[in-house]
A = this chain, B = another copy of it.
Amino acid sequence: MENRKLRMGMIGGGKDAFIGAVHRIAANMDGQIELVCGALSINPDVAKESGRMLFLDDDRTYTSYEDMINAEAALPADKRMDFVSIVTPNFAHFAPAMLALEKGFHVVIEKPITLTFDEAKQLKAKVEETGLLLLLTHTYAGYPMVKEAREVVKSGQLGKVRKINVEYLQGWLSRLSEREGNAQAAWRTDPSKSGKSGSMGDIGTHAAHLAEYITGLKITELCATLNTVVKGRALDDDGAVLLRFEDDATGTLIASQVAAGEENALKIRVYGENGSLEWAQMEPNSLIIKWLDKPMEIVRAGSGYQDRLSDLERANVRTPAGHPEGYLEAFGNHYRNFSHALRARLSGEDTKPEWLDYPSVDDGIRGMAFIENVVASSNSDQKWWKYQI
C-alpha cells in the first residue's frame, strides 16, 4: 500500500458517548490511523454536531450504519475507509459488523462481540468466509504487563499453574442509576440492549478473558451464582463463579458492579508450583512475582533489564519505566497492533510478528460462551456445569 495513515470509520460514539471517545483516543495516539467518516448517531443533529467536533466532512457524516457502509463502499479505493470501528451498545454490534464484512471492510468491535451467542457464531463464520481482520477490544489484554504475565507463565518459571483468582469490582451501579437518567446504566441493565447477563457480561467477560489469556488455560467447568442486588434491576449486578480449567487448575471469578467504593478493580493472581504472579489494572505498570524460595519481585513496564522482559512487553510500551502508561495506552496497543497487521495485509505481506497479538473473533466466541455458561449454571441446581461451546 502507499505510505499513508489507515482510514477509519466509526459507528456509534456520538458526542456524549463514553467508549467511542476512548476508541478515538486509542486510534489517534500513535499516528497510524485517521478518522474519515462516521455514523455517530441516528439523531441527525447529534450526528452532524459530533462529526464537526471531530473535523469530519459533512458529507461523510452519516445517520445510519447502512448508509455509511454503502456510501463508503462506493467511494474510490484511494478515499474510502479501510476499516470500521463499531462502538454501539451490544445489541447494535452484529448487523453493522456483518454488513461491513460483506462489503469488504475490516472491523473493530467493542466487547461483548454480539448480543447473543448465536450471532457471535454467525459473525465468526463471516470473518472466516471473508478472510478479513477483526479486532475485539478486550482492553485489558493490551496492557504490557498483562502480556509480560502471559510470557512469564509460558516460560514455565512458575511451574505448572495450579490456581487462578480473578476479580473485577466496580461500584457505579450500587444505586438504581438506570432510573436516574444515567444513559450508560440504562442500556447496560436492559436485557434487550445488553444481552442475557448484566455485570457478568459487561465485566465478568473481561475477567474470564484475562484469566485465559494469561494462563493459556481454558475454563472447562464452572459453578456460578448471579445476584441482582439492587431491587428493581432487570439483570444481574453481582456474581461469583467457581472455576475448573484444563490441566487440573482451579479458580474463582468475582464480578460486581455494586461493590460500593470500588472504581475499576480488575485484578488477577495466578499460582504455580514455584511462585505466583499478581496484576491489578489500577496499578498496571507493575507485575508482582512472589517466589516460593526467594524475595518477591516487582517487574516494571518499560524497564531496561537485560534479558528479562519479553519482546511482547517491549513492543507494547512507549516510554521508559516510571512514566506511567494506563488504560488509554493499553487500548491504543490494540489499535496499533491491529493497524500494523492491517497495513501488512494491505501491503501483501504475510508475516505477522508474534507481538502483533490482539483479541479477535475467537475471543469473542469465548466471551459469549462464558455468558451462556454462567447464566445456565446460575439457573441450575447442579453444582458443576460443563462448559459448552
**Could you tell me if A3 and B263 are in contact, using CB atoms closer than 8 angstroms?**
no
9-residue interface stretch from A95-103, A125-133, A264-272: A264-272
Contacting residues, chain B, for A298 (C-beta < 8 A): 295-298
- Does A261 reach chain B (CB closer than 8 Å)? yes
Chain A 323-379 interface residues, beta-carbon cutoff 8 Å to B: 323-329
| Chief secondary structure at chain A's binding surface | loop
- Report if A55-B381 is in contact (Cβ < 8 Å); known contacts: A225-B242, A262-B290, A328-B319: no
Contacting residues, chain B, for A328 (C-beta < 8 A): 29, 318-319, 323, 325, 328-329
One complex includes copies of this chain to the number of 4
Chain A 83-108 interface residues, beta-carbon cutoff 8 Å to B: none
**Could you tell me if B259 and A324 are in contact, using CB atoms closer than 8 angstroms?**
no
**Could you tell me if A308 and B327 are in contact, using CB atoms closer than 8 angstroms?**
no
Contacting residues, chain B, for A383 (C-beta < 8 A): 223, 380-383
Contacting residues, chain B, for A325 (C-beta < 8 A): 326-328
Closest to A143 in B: B324
**Could you tell me if A308 and B295 are in contact, using CB atoms closer than 8 angstroms?**
yes
Closest to A263 in B: B322
In the complex, A298 Cα to B286 Cα: how many Å? Answer: 13
**Could you tell me if A174 and B308 are in contact, using CB atoms closer than 8 angstroms?**
no
- Does A274 reach chain B (CB closer than 8 Å)? yes
**Could you tell me if A254 and B165 are in contact, using CB atoms closer than 8 angstroms?**
yes
9-residue interface stretch from A17-25, A109-117, A212-220: A17-25
**Could you tell me if B25 and A282 are in contact, using CB atoms closer than 8 angstroms?**
no
- Does A197 reach chain B (CB closer than 8 Å)? no
Closest to A297 in B: B295
- Does A194 reach chain B (CB closer than 8 Å)? no
Contact of A31 among B28, B251, B305 (CB under 8 A): B28
- Closest-CB distance, A56 to chain B (whole angstroms): 10
Per-residue interface assignment for chain A, residues 277 to 289, with 1 indicating a CB less than 8 Å from any chain B CB and 0 otherwise = 0000111100001
**Could you tell me if B52 and A320 are in contact, using CB atoms closer than 8 angstroms?**
no
**Could you tell me if B55 and A291 are in contact, using CB atoms closer than 8 angstroms?**
no
- Closest-CB distance, A147 to chain B (whole angstroms): 16
Closest to A249 in B: B229
- Report if A321-B240 is in contact (Cβ < 8 Å); known contacts: A223-B225, A258-B163: no
Lowest 8 A-B CB distances belong to which pairs? Answer: A261-B290, A263-B322, A264-B322, A324-B326, A323-B327, A295-B297, A326-B326, A261-B276
Question: Which residues of chain A have a CB within 8 Å of any CB of chain B?
Answer: 3-5, 18, 21-22, 24-25, 28-31, 35, 52, 54-55, 158-159, 162-163, 165, 167, 170-172, 174-175, 223, 225, 227, 229, 238, 240, 242, 250-252, 254, 256, 258-265, 269, 271-276, 281-284, 289-300, 303, 305-306, 308, 318-329, 380-384
6 A-B residue contacts at CB 8 Å? A22-B318, A29-B328, A31-B54, A163-B258, A263-B303, A294-B305
